[in-house]
Chains A and B, each alone.
Chain A
Amino acid sequence: MKIISKLFVIVSLFFVNAGLSCAQTAEKQGEIVSYILPNGLHILILEQHTTPVVAVQVWYHVGSINEPNGLKGIAHLFEHMMFRGSKNFGPEEHFQLIRAAGGQCNAYTSDETTVYHERLPADKLDLALRLEADRMAWLKLDQNVLDTERQVVMEEYRMRVENDPVGSIEKDVRLFLYPDNIYEFGPIGKMQDIAKFTVEDCQKFYGKYYTPNNATLIIVGDVQTQQVIKMVESRFGLIKPSEISVRPQFVSPAKVVSAVNKSKTDLPIPVTLLAFYTAGARDKDRAALEVLLSSLTDGKSSRLWKMLIKDKKIAEYFTGEYIEGADSGLVVFAAAHLPSMSKKVEANIWQQLEKIKTAGLEPNEFTKIRNKLRAEDIFEKYYAETLASNIGDSDVVRGDYKLFYETVREIEDVTQADVIRVANRYFNRDEMKIIYFEPRRKVFLAGVAGFLKSIFN
């Protein structure tokens, strides 16, 4: 379901800081070369000579979880400001120069990171490095630009939250699942806070987080490692590091208890959403959880899609998502359905969960996920940008770039006992959160159809 998936694409932006080692020597692991400049900038380089393309990504270890009260949304607004000019480049020149080189660039802000990315012809690598270094060292911040960009960001808020029913659902979900928590508002922030950011706020944010020792630079493509290291040293080497404060950590309640929330939506049919907290990307059970969720939710071959949509026809749309940060995660099952069907949706999801908790998965379910991962592992080699993103994810979210090579093996190693243990660890009724979204405008015929279906199904 396009509309529901979109919700979780937005929610799914959870990343976190990796502990940087202080090693100063280049280290080779497989094909990725890891190198740390004296100022703390961590560089990861992977040569890929299939096409004359290079992907450059700067992962700053800062996101919306770093925002204090009153500044909710500043990480995202700051991402916009990074394109509005630095000492040697004018406003928007970053975009324009990359484009004139035949490349593309953009950025995104998540809960735990802010990532700037370029994809361009390999012989233009130095241009991307020069631009990234310039704004890391000498960003220009002034009132006029801030005022304009504030308006742009407020337009984005209107577009993504106020005028989009799915964005509005995401907002409600966060408020319910993460009250008074670092994940409560997400990267989009709060409109009333965005209206009040000052140049001083931005300057402080920049000085604190946009420093080489708070960033990981990833370069993948048709490049020569030793040349790249020299280029990076020349562009970034003189940028001063800053003192980085301890990053905020997700604090889970001492005891998670089940809770139910009811809310309204502009979608035409009700949505039922079941959520379960998990331990996140660095937990030992991550791979087992991935196998389990794949069998439940991955496509038309999955258990829940078949049961809810095809066989029992209880729901009109269904999606299941796993959203993970470094130290916390969330499993969400969401179904849009006719009125009066929410209890049946819930019961059927539980039926499958209970089954797995005692009997585990069928052998062919292991085969499917293993073959899917093997295929993905080969196909992603075509795309420098995908490889760069996966290396970034391995290093920054999971804590070690070497895990980039382990994805297939980790899945291969998952056993039936692992799946059963993980199902029992996470999927417990007394820890489940449920949110029901009822349409603001009720459709009479849909109500009748739903009522009848709930009786006879």
Chain B
Amino acid sequence: MNYIKYGFAAILFCISGIVFASDGQLIKYPPVKDITLPNGLRVMLIEQHQQQTISYRLLVRTGRADEPIGREGIASLTADILQEGTVTKTSDQIADEIAGIGSSLSVSQYPAYVVFGMDVIKQYSQNGLELFSDIIINPSFSSQGFKRIKNKMLNDVDLDQTDNDTIAFNNGRNVLFGSENPLGRTNTRKSVQAVTLNDVQDFYRNHYCPNNSILLVIGDFADGQMLMDLTMKFGHWQPTEIAHRFQTSPDFSKKGRIRIVDKPGMTQAIFYLNQWATESTDSNYYSYLVANYVLGGSDFSSRLVKAVRAKGGMTYHIGSRCDIHSDYGVLSISTSTRNQELLNAYNVIRQEMEKLINTGITEEELQKAKDYISGSIPLQLESPAQVAGKILNAIMQGFTIEDLSKEVAGFNSVTVDDVNRVIKEYMRPERLNVVIVCDVKKVESQLTQIGEYEKTNYKDSPCK
């Protein structure tokens, strides 16, 4: 095959199509050609011929986690400026050419990585690849584009102060990660103003490099030809030494804090609670996900929804979610309730957590969780874009595709005892950080019953 002659290390997963083994334990992903180019770029090629489409995804391991203190916003600014022109094309040309082939460029930003995506019909695969690679590798860093994006980010800072969920989330991150960790910090007018075009260029040079990236292509192509095309476009991308990243080290011994964010005029209180969870590389990973499923991760099958919404009528939405990374994990619970029910809602959430610790989950709850997880896999893999997203996310969590194929088996091996042990070890109410955005004047008497709290204003930076 053509790629062999380039002498690349190739790892092949020789499986065909996404299918379940007869016992439902093993999910067979389509064959993945997993190659590393000499410049360090990992290339993953997946042929799928259902429709005449091709999806390009480039993951770069950079995000908020890499932002220097005082330059919050730089990761986002750098990702956004790439569409503002290349050395050979203006931003208008790029926008018109992408639209001209019926496509669009997506930029999905996560705390530790960013994914650029372009989906094209086969007829325009070459045009798409040309544009996609040009945008990633040859940005012009136009000063006009920089000014415009920066101005938009400054406006976004103001707009974020009108979005109650964002206020709660930003404060919650700060309480958990702390102000020394980039993940605990938020864009402010000052930090965005401080970012210069030179800063952005440096950030790009230090993080946007082939040895810090994964290029995944999935769709209707022949892998040999595609590899040649990709090598032509990305082979000359120069590697560099990757900048050091702040390491997040969860402190499980730390007691939870309560932060009240005053926002006058509100008729609801917005809750955001969080605490450290297990990481994806931990042996408790699957047990922890089941615990979250039972607590608040399964809509009306979850205990929190039953207690706070279905029985209590205290909220429209409540749920818990896990953001599990290879080096740390976060459990969060979010909800909103009318001012009068603030204390009740808080107490019910605490009680449900305590009940979970004291009496554990049941066999029936475990079985339902397993049934959902095994049944939902086909729904997660309907399109090439979904397959790509699932694979890239798994890689960022430290899994291989082989691990991914054993996902259902991993859940099925979990026992009630495993889950209950993990709940006792991790889901401790005393470690729960609590952020409540509310009109303090209207709910002060309830707040005093919650415990000792620090108070801030919604206009203040969460990390001041």
Interface residues of A (CB under 8 A from B): 3, 50-53, 83, 91-92, 95-96, 99-104, 119-121, 124, 147-156, 158-159, 162-165, 266-269, 298-301, 306, 309-310, 313, 316-317, 336, 364, 367-368, 370-376, 378-379, 381-384, 443
Contacts and interface: CB of A to CB of B under 8 A. Distances in A.
A226 to B, nearest CB: 23
B224 interface: no
Contacts of B402: none
Nearest to B119: A379
A383 B314 contact: no
Given A102-B373, A120-B375, A301-B96, A162 B301 contact: no
Contacts of A148: 310-313
B268 interface: yes
Contacts of B155: 268-269, 316-317, 336
21 contacts: A51-B382, A53-B382, A99-B300, A152-B309, A152-B315, A155-B337, A158-B267, A158-B338, A159-B317, A163-B164, A163-B267, A267-B159, A269-B155, A300-B95, A310-B92, A316-B155, A367-B100, A368-B99, A375-B120, A378-B52, A384-B382
B230 interface: no
B162 interface: yes
A375 B122 CA distance: 10
Contacts of B377: 102
A438 to B, nearest CB: 15
B412 interface: no
B99 to A, nearest CB: 4
B99 A298 contact: yes
A352 B373 CA distance: 52
Contacts of A103: 375-376, 379
A84 B17 CA distance: 40
Given A102-B376, A163-B164, A382-B384, 12 more contacts: A103-B376, A104-B379, A147-B313, A152-B309, A158-B267, A159-B268, A163-B266, A306-B92, A316-B155, A371-B100, A375-B101, A382-B51
A121 B375 contact: yes
Nearest to B161: A268
The contact size tier of chain B is 35 or more
Contacts of B254: none
Contacts of B379: 53, 102-104, 119-121
Nearest to B120: A375
A104 B101 CA distance: 34
Nearest to B144: A310
A318 to B, nearest CB: 11
A378 B51 contact: yes
Contacts of A91: 310
A42 to B, nearest CB: 26
Contacts of B109: none
Contacts of B338: 154-155, 158
B180 interface: no
Contacts of A152: 309, 313, 315-316
B383 A383 contact: yes
B336 interface: yes
B121 to A, nearest CB: 5
Give the one of A51, A119, A364 with max B CB within 10 A: A51
B99 A3 contact: no
B371 A364 contact: no
